[in-house]
Structure 1
Amino acid sequence: MDQFKKDLKKKIWIYTIVFILAICSIIIIAFIPMQTKMPHISDFMKGYQFGGITGMSGVFLYHIISYMIALKRPTYLKKLYIRQTDERECLIQQKSCSIAMSGSLMGLCIATIIAGFFNHIVFITLGIATVCVLFVYVGCIFYYSKKL
């Protein structure tokens, strides 16, 4: 249980750093005007970025608060420990992530092929995104095959 507490403290620090960076990004997006060649898109992009970063900040803040509560309350800490180390929960997480990653790769590949018929820039962008996701996927496979 002591190792789990150390892991939670480490996660709290990491989430706090990312949360602070996200808040700084929100401030930059809100107060620094964006210069773009397409002014009709800048408000949409600004809103999308603001909403995405705000949503991620909310998730990080939720985890920070729940982990801090877990460190202060032993009963909640025990429930969190059981939930995160339960074999059934871990298997469900592994299976769903594996299927989600495969589905994402297939979806990106299909979108890249379709985009090739319409726009060269979108095709290149989706192709690069597909390759990056593929590298992460294969990298995780190699990492966990050696670790486990």
Structure 2
Amino acid sequence: MSGAGSGWQAYPDAVDDHVDLPPVRPGRVVGVGAICDLRPQQADAADTQSSSVGEFVMLDDGRRVLLHQDRGFTLGRRSARAARPDADPVDEPRESVTRSVLTVVLPDDEETAEEHPWSWLADLARSRGLDVVADDLRALPYEVVLTDDVTRWLARG
């Protein structure tokens, strides 16, 4: 059944994980991480903010090569502080967002043998033209990057 004319449309917070990312100029992979950015705010959700999360590899020339951006989560400004009301007003929400990022990049399937989807990430990196295997990624430092928009949103909280 076609969606044309049926009134069907994608859920506004849906993430399209079927984007084919183009190959990149080769380089040596020296790091891996996740990046968190803000999604457009819904008019009826003034106290919450949805975020998109993707993972990338860092190359020795400083380039970050996005592997996927198909994850995300929603937080309330106050929910991040509720756990520790005595915490620093900026640091605690930042730690909460970082924990959420690290949680959403984990495998959804509890039967997965890997604690992190290293094999899948290596496959994605190879599809972008990079020569890397899961064991290489597993041994690298993992960084969580919050965009400037996320940092500004946290500061307004």
With the length of structure 1 as denominator, give the TM-score of the two structures.
Answer: 0.23
Structure with a larger share of its residues in helix: 1
Higher RCO by CA contacts (8 Å cutoff, separation 6 or greater): 2
Structure with a larger share of its residues in strand: 2
Indicate the structure (1 or 2) with the bigger Cα radius of gyration.
1
